[in-house]
Structure 1
Amino acid sequence: MELQIPPEVDAVRQALTRSGYEAYAVGGCVRDSLLGLAPHDWDLTTSARPEQARRALSAFKVIDTGLKHGTVTALSGKTAVEVTSYRVDGPYSDGRHPDRVAFTASLKEDLARRDFTVNALAYSPETGVVDCFGGMKDLAEKRIRCVGDADRRFREDGLRILRAMRFSADLGFSIERETARSLLRSRALLDRIARERIRAEFTKLLCGAQAAAVLRKFRDAAAQFIPELRPCFGFAQRNPHHVYDVWEHTLHTVDAAPQEPVLRLTMLLHDIGKPLCFSVGRDGVGHFYGHAGKSAELAEKILRRLRYDNRTVADVATLVRWHGVPLPPDERFLRRRLG
């Protein structure tokens, strides 16, 4: 199978191979190319050690972006190409970066350290796709599976929990059974992850085509960093106007919203205050007086905790606050209400 590596990227790869080193496109760029998607960026992995890679790439401007972990970035035209030496990772004390790395001459050993099988694929025009861990089969069967031991992969970087969910939501892939079990039992690892990293990955997840389905299946993982969601799970509304509990209603609204961050966040959080505002009338019907205001208050608190920018916080809180108010189609009225 032949993949089209952009000329600027292949120029870097060929500079390495002309110097006698192995060099492959690796990771998400290979995965996306095989799926017929346009890769956002191209990464290379090589048998050259960092100092050897620098010498082989002397025709390019080279930036030392992560020498400790074997990574340099070559500027080829207007394209930045990340080049990482084959390596084996040591322990991950900080839950993000290995404490130490050992360089290796083995492509297979390098691929073994990666998160999911569909991301552990390498490609060069000379060899075609190199698949050591069943990534092609998982790609064909639309499945996310950890490389090797799932518990270990998640311990290395807890953000991989959200990455698995994000890939599932974005690509419409299932999460393999043992990977899914490990994901849920490892969810407390998310407590160690910087809120900014959580925000970035969660926003991508939430904007995925299958976000609602993923949140339905892995709700406990989402509640690990948004615990305010938990009271919504299974909360019966006891109202003839609602056929779903609060959480299921929320998921249906997420699914119906355009795949845009502010609107998806609004749908996720628009009724989050309902359990705190529940009352039952004499007729036995459930009511949620004041829930829009309470939900807006909680939404602002959650979004600030996750380090969303001020504009996003304000837009979501405003939409949540007024989501139950009928608005006449009058521009002046809308401008006054929405500030």
Structure 2
Amino acid sequence: MKKRKKRILVFTFSLAVISLIIFINEAVLLKEKNEIFNISVITKGGKINSFSRLKSGIDGAKKEMGVNINFINLEGKENKEEQIKVLREELNKEVDAILIQPIEYNYIKEEIDKSKKKTPIVVLETKVEDSKVINIPYDNYKIGYKLADEIMSRGHFKKNILVLIEEDVDYIKKRKEGFIESIKLTNNMVQFLQVKRKEEVERIFKENKSDIIVTFDMELLEEIAKIKEGLFKESKIEVYGVGTNDYIISALEKGIINGFSVQSEFNMGYLGVKAAVDLIKKNSFEDVVIDSRMINCENMYYDYNQKILFPFVN
């Protein structure tokens, strides 16, 4: 009789423990399911339409993963002081993770290292070395290299090439390095010029001393194309650059732009949010490099290029 009672007690206790474990697991799962993470996205500044594809990828991940996104676009383009100030403010807030497009990655690394909070950080577009962050960068060196390859593929080996740069920041420097490494194999004359105002670009077209204009910045590429289309439509100067938006695609179709390097900003935005959520949940996530490809009039209608140019319809 005593043995039977003992068995009943052991069975009852075991059942209670199992029920408690199941209840706790279900409670944890329910909490995770209902928990909404707050993620801040800090851009490098510029026109808001410059980030439409990036934002589309972020919004897609937001819907799928049920997170709140605070999208912060800097007032001044390439203003590293402002970006550091915003990053500092976000690190001091109760945010679960931060996505950032660094203007100068060394400044960002210093700010992250100084912060006492261990907020998960995902770096977009460039790579922060020696810091405990997840990177989803472009291969900026390769972007510049491919741009020079595209020019050479057009049979340009003895041309006057003018490379226009607005701000000589980290990712631009990497693109410039790749471009120089590739183009140096030719007899092209390459000159680098920093421009601040559209009047300077207009003067370049008026003087007509260059055969090719190159830029590594999307907004500057758009500005150059608009000046050429509006004032110098008959100009024989070829234009090549990096980045895309609806106007740049249209300018390529019209022959105003001759080619540009494009990267999947949509994928970068989506993967950035996914990486942030994984970091918040203490899951592993490896760095992902976003590939680039050259787009020109001949290949822009290929299916695989249409998918990267128009991610919204996929």
Shared topology, TM-score over 0.5? no
TM-score band w.r.t. shorter chain: under 0.3
In our comparison, the structure showing a higher alpha carbon Rg is 2
TM-score normalized by structure 2? 0.24
| Alignment TM-score, normalising by the size of structure 1 | 0.22
Considering Cα pairs closer than 8 Å and 6+ residues apart, tell me whether 1 or 2 has the greater RCO: 2
